[in-house]
Amino acid sequence: MTLSRQLANKASPKSRGGSSEYGAICYNLPMTTPPDTTPWAPLGSRPMKIVFIAGPYIGDGKIETIEANIRDAEAYAIALANAGIGFFCPHLHTHHFGTKAQADETFYHALDFHFLNAADAVLFTPRWHTSSGAKRERAWALAKGLPLFYPESPQEIEELVAWATRAEYRHKLNEPGE
């Protein structure tokens, strides 16, 4: 039996009446709500928003450029984590996999879109427009009506934090620089 199946069995409806063994196994924390609705601390009672970070990865293909692009995206991921905002950063998820794994680039594009499909919003790093992948992700996100954010630096994510932390905030889709 796989670990995920074992955890699913532990979180069966029988164990949802009070604390769940799932929380104890995964996080060593008591839980009072079922795992599928738990907003995981430190978020308190608000649901976690997930922000997909889009930006260039390969660039000119030089290892130095790839590393710089990874570090740039990582800075945004750190800023979101520090603000208590959930994120998915493909740059960090497949860090240098081009040299570690045998999968071709189309596999990574499909993987990114799988996670993008689950995202609530997209953050574009400043040089997103130099990336064909980020352009595709933007077109898809626009078609789905996702909120798009274009902070100039990791320190300028206030609008995104406001969107993620206030239910009454209604983000309008806008172009960068407007």
Residues 6 or more apart in contact with residue 91 via CB below 8 angstroms: 53, 55, 57, 69, 70, 73, 74
Asked if residue 136 belongs to a domain, the reply is yes
Q: Flag whether pLDDT at 167 surpasses 70.
A: no
Asked if residue 45 belongs to a domain, the reply is no
Q: Do residues 94 and 15 both lie within one domain?
A: no
Q: Do residues 61 and 130 both lie within one domain?
A: yes
Confidence class for position 106, pLDDT limits 50, 70, 90: confident
Indicate the range of 28-32, 111-115, 130-134, 152-156 predicted with least confidence.
28-32
| pLDDT tens digits, 21-79 | 333 333 443 444 444 444 444 445 567 899 999 999 888 989 999 999 999 999 999 99
Q: What is the tally of structural domains in the chain?
A: 2
Helix (H, G, I), strand (E, B) or coil at 70: helix
Q: Flag whether pLDDT at 125 surpasses 50.
A: yes
What's the CA gap between 161 and 51, in Å, rounded? 10
Q: Flag whether pLDDT at 138 surpasses 50.
A: yes
Residue 52 bridge partners (DSSP) = 88, 122
Q: Do residues 145 and 106 both lie within one domain?
A: yes
Q: Do residues 72 and 145 both lie within one domain?
A: yes
Indicate the range of 58-62, 87-91, 166-170 predicted with least confidence.
166-170
Q: Do residues 83 and 154 both lie within one domain?
A: yes
Q: Do residues 132 and 156 both lie within one domain?
A: yes
Q: Do residues 95 and 123 both lie within one domain?
A: yes
Helix (H, G, I), strand (E, B) or coil at 52: strand
What secondary structure letter does DSSP report for 54?
E
Overall pTM > 0.85: no
Helices (H), 11-157: 21-27, 63-82, 90-93, 97-100, 105-117, 132-144
Distance spanning both ends of the chain, measured CA to CA: 53
